[in-house]
């Protein structure tokens, strides 16, 4: 900016009056409102245009002369203990990434982040934070990712996360939390779009199973390596996650107390749990009528002390909810009763109960409910699914693959190759037959996840700007799983 302006000034200033071009340029810049912020790298830091790294410099306070054009500031591996409100004298309007990991920060003053309103990524991992106070993160309403792992957090005060409207990923692993941080989800002003929450390596002994069943429909919650008490409700939840192949459980299966294979879980009420294969079924009723939907795998005898959850398209219910005025209730024997069915009640319903059965991909713990016209509903994709379809898809994929191989062989051997006649004959023939044939096993796993639909498509590369924010739902919700297939497809292309 400066050289160009001074050249311009030198050229236009032909009137002959004596003038010092650099000084005039500076004056001009000041008049135009540009502060004379000169690119000076702080003494202890390394700068690369807009990246400033002051990592591992034994700093106990932040450097005072940080240039305001930075978009990434790394202050990790220092000995900073406090982040005061005036840790930087001017606004850091462009800062998107602030790394403060591996310091000894235990105190962050109120409004300390008001100077960085456009921060997207904040790393406070490996510090000594013990309490997250009210309004700790005020001003960070664009923040997408917050790293707080490896601190000593015992308490999250109400309102600690207010203002974090855009937060998508939160890492609270390796702290000392004893209770599930509900406020994150239910306090006003909190993160509404949180899709990733890591609570592993904490001290949680109990988790709110019913709430988790609904929260994990919109995102991933990691709970491995907590001293969880494996009661019947938790066992039911873990079994259900197995059936849904819920990624946070599948990836860390050994980190949960009641493992699928050990068979050493608590003795839940097993009376009435049948050994019949679990089959997905469709229940249909006219609008306004009553409908009873039995829980798959539970026999008809009435049972005491059985915890049965139903995951419906709108909500999650359990068998000890005693609200007779509700429109959906779970009877003591686990049967779901829909009173005065509405068209909106249609959808896939999951029955969550500790059956203590091994996960079997051919079985389903879900049922379909159709209110209204069955043919119309099945046209919109709400179809009955049975275990044999897995085999059918795999078989048809294999059969079509064999047919296409034969066709390609016919094409190769029965048609004359014309490429040799064209000039520069190296092009063409070699690549003319491309055989696209998917692996039947892959087709089957795709089938398992996709509930009967295979979609081929070309997906543009995932956006880089979106900091790891996974847009795919963490768990397949019955028929609404196209995004899962999309992700699957992009991996195999
Ligand atoms: C770090 O700084 C402190 C004083 O601020 C000094 O006593 C100490 O020796 C320094 N450590 C290293 C490794 O330079
Ligand atoms: C929260 O407040 C307490 C008491 O005022 C203070 O000791 C602690 O350092 C604060 N936490 C943070 C992260 O600033
Ligand atoms: C949450 O995500 C939805 C869909 O991606 C978006 O439309 C909405 O603006 C987001 N809300 C906030 C507060 O970021
Ligand atoms: C069952 O539902 C009620 C009311 O929603 C709730 O208070 C209770 O905690 C739930 N039981 C379990 C085991 O989650
Ligand atoms: C559950 O109980 C209801 C009424 O008490 C009964 O009509 C229904 O048949 C029972 N369902 C099963 C599967 O036992
Ligand atoms: C269901 O819908 C189809 C057309 O969408 C209609 O032809 C049929 O009569 C309807 N059946 C009932 C029972 O309403």
CATH number (domain holding residue 337): 2.60.40.10
Query: pLDDT digits over 444-491, tens only?
Result: 444 444 343 343 444 444 444 444 444 444 554 443 333 333 333 333
Average pLDDT of the chain is: 75
Assigned token pair, 410: 């016919």
Question: Do 441 and 356 share a domain, yes or no?
Answer: no
Is the Cβ–Cβ distance between 282 and 370 less than 8 Å?
A: yes
Is the Cβ–Cβ distance between 341 and 298 less than 8 Å?
A: no
Question: What is the whole-number distance in angstroms between the Cα of residue 112 and the centre of ligand 2?
Answer: 13
Q: At what angle do helices 388-414 and 440-450 cross, to 10 degrees?
A: 140
Question: What is the whole-number distance in angstroms between the Cα of residue 131 and the centre of ligand 6?
Answer: 60
Query: pLDDT digits over 60-106, tens only?
Result: 998 888 888 899 999 999 999 999 998 888 888 899 999 999 999 99
- C-beta atoms surrounding 44 within 10 Å: 15
Question: Do 364 and 436 share a domain, yes or no?
Answer: no
Find the residues whose C-beta lies inside 6 A of ligand 2: 106-108, 129, 131, 133, 136
Which ligand has its closest atom nearest to the C-alpha of 61? 1
Q: What is the pTM of this model?
A: 0.71
User: Has residue 489 been placed in a domain?
Assistant: yes
Pocket of ligand 4 contains residue 320 by CB under 6 Å: yes
Can you give the pLDDT at residue 326? 84
User: Has residue 16 been placed in a domain?
Assistant: yes
Pocket of ligand 4 contains residue 321 by CB under 6 Å: yes
Question: Do 436 and 369 share a domain, yes or no?
Answer: no
Closest C-alpha to ligand 5, atom 14: 300
Q: Determine the average pLDDT of the residues in 315-344.
A: 86
Domain membership of residue 429 as a residue range:
425-493
Closest C-alpha to ligand 6, atom 9: 373
Which ligand has its closest atom nearest to the C-alpha of 190? 3
Which ligand has its closest atom nearest to the C-alpha of 331? 5
User: Has residue 405 been placed in a domain?
Assistant: no
Which ligand has its closest atom nearest to the C-alpha of 273? 5
Can you give the pLDDT at residue 140? 95
Question: Do 372 and 285 share a domain, yes or no?
Answer: yes
- Distance of alpha carbon 310 from alpha carbon 328, whole angstroms: 10
Residues 6+ apart with CB under 8 A from 275: none
Ligand 3 atom closest to Cα of 471?
A: 5
User: Has residue 238 been placed in a domain?
Assistant: no
User: Has residue 356 been placed in a domain?
Assistant: yes
Ligand 6 atom closest to Cα of 379?
A: 5
User: Has residue 13 been placed in a domain?
Assistant: yes
- Distance of alpha carbon 73 from alpha carbon 59, whole angstroms: 14
Closest C-alpha to ligand 1, atom 14: 58
User: Has residue 17 been placed in a domain?
Assistant: yes
User: Has residue 132 been placed in a domain?
Assistant: no
| Residue % of the chain over a pLDDT of 70 | 63
Pocket of ligand 4 contains residue 210 by CB under 6 Å: yes
Cα 265 to Cα 229, 269, 333, 358, distances in angstroms: 10, 12, 22, 13
- DSSP state at residue 419: G
Band (257; pLDDT cuts 50, 70, 90) = confident
Instruction: Give the chain's domain count.
Output: 3
Question: What is the whole-number distance in angstroms between the Cα of residue 99 and the centre of ligand 1?
Answer: 21
Find the residues whose C-beta lies inside 6 A of ligand 5: 294, 300, 331, 333, 335
Cα 152 to Cα 103, 106, 383, distances in angstroms: 13, 9, 49
Question: What is the whole-number distance in angstroms between the Cα of residue 159 and the centre of ligand 6?
Answer: 52
Beta strand extents in 206-280 (DSSP E only): 220-222
Pick the closest to residue 163 from 100, 200, 110, 127 (CA basis): 110
DSSP β-bridge partners for residue 222 = 198
Pocket of ligand 1 contains residue 60 by CB under 6 Å: yes
- Distance of alpha carbon 206 from alpha carbon 212, whole angstroms: 11
Can you give the pLDDT at residue 12? 38
Question: Do 307 and 364 share a domain, yes or no?
Answer: yes
Question: Do 287 and 370 share a domain, yes or no?
Answer: yes
Q: What DSSP string describes 274-302?
A: --SPP--EEEEE-TTS-EEEPPTTB-SS-
Which ligand has its closest atom nearest to the C-alpha of 328? 4
């Amino acid at each position: 900016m400066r050289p160009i302006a001074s050249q311009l000034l030198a050229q236009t200033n032909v009137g002959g009056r004596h003038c010092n071009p650099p000084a005039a340029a500076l004056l001009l810049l000041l008049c135009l409102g540009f502060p004379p912020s000169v690119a000076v790298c702080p003494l202890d830091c390394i700068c690369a245009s807009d990246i400033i790294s002051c990592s591992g410099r034994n700093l106990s306070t932040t450097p005072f002369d940080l240039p305001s054009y930075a978009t990434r500031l790394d202050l990790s591996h220092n000995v900073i203990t406090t982040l005061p409100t005036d840790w930087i004298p001017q606004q850091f309007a462009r800062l998107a990434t602030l790394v403060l990991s591996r310091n000894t920060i235990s105190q962050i003053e109120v409004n300390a982040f008001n100077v960085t309103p456009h921060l997207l990524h904040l790393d406070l991992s490996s510090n000594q934070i013990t309490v997250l106070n009210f309004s700790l993160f005020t001003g960070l309403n664009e923040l997408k990712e917050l790293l707080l792992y490896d601190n000593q957090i015992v308490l999250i005060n109400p309102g600690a996360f207010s203002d974090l409207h855009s937060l998508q990923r939160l890492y609270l692993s390796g702290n000392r939390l004893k209770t599930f941080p509900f406020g994150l989800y239910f306090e006003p002003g909190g993160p509404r779009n949180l899709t990733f929450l890591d609570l592993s390596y904490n001290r949680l002994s109990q988790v709110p199973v019913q709430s988790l069943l609904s929260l994990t429909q919109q995102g991933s919650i990691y709970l491995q390596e907590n001293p969880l008490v494996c009661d019947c409700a938790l066992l039911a939840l873990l079994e259900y996650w197995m059936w849904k192949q819920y990624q946070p459980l599948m990836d860390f299966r050994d980190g949960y107390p009641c493992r699928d294979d050990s068979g050493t879980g608590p003795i839940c009420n097993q009376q009435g749990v049948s050994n019949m294969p679990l089959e997905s079924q469709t229940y249909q009723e006219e609008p306004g009528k009553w409908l009873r939907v039995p829980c798959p795998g539970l026999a008809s005898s009435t049972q005491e002390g059985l915890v049965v959850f139903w995951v419906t398209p709108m909500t999650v219910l359990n068998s000890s909810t005693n609200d007779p005025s509700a429109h959906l209730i779970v009877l003591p024997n686990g049967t779901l009763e829909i009173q005065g069915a509405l068209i909106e009640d249609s959808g896939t319903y999951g029955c969550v109960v500790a059956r203590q059965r091994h996960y079997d991909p051919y079985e389903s713990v879900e049922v379909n409910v159709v209110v209204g016209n069955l043919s119309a509903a099945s046209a919109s994709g709400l179809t009955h699914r049975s275990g044999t379809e897995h085999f059918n898809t795999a078989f048809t994929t294999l059969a079509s693959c064999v047919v296409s191989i034969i066709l390609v062989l016919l094409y190769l051997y029965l048609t004359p190759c014309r490429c040799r006649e064209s000039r520069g004959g190296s092009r063409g023939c070699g690549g003319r037959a491309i055989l696209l044939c998917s692996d039947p096993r892959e087709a089957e796993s795709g089938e398992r996840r996709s509930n009967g639909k295979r979609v081929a498509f070309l997906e543009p590369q995932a956006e880089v700007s979106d900091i790891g924010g996974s847009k795919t739902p963490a768990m397949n919700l019955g028929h609404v799983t196209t995004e899962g297939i999309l992700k699957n497809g992009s991996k195999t292309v």
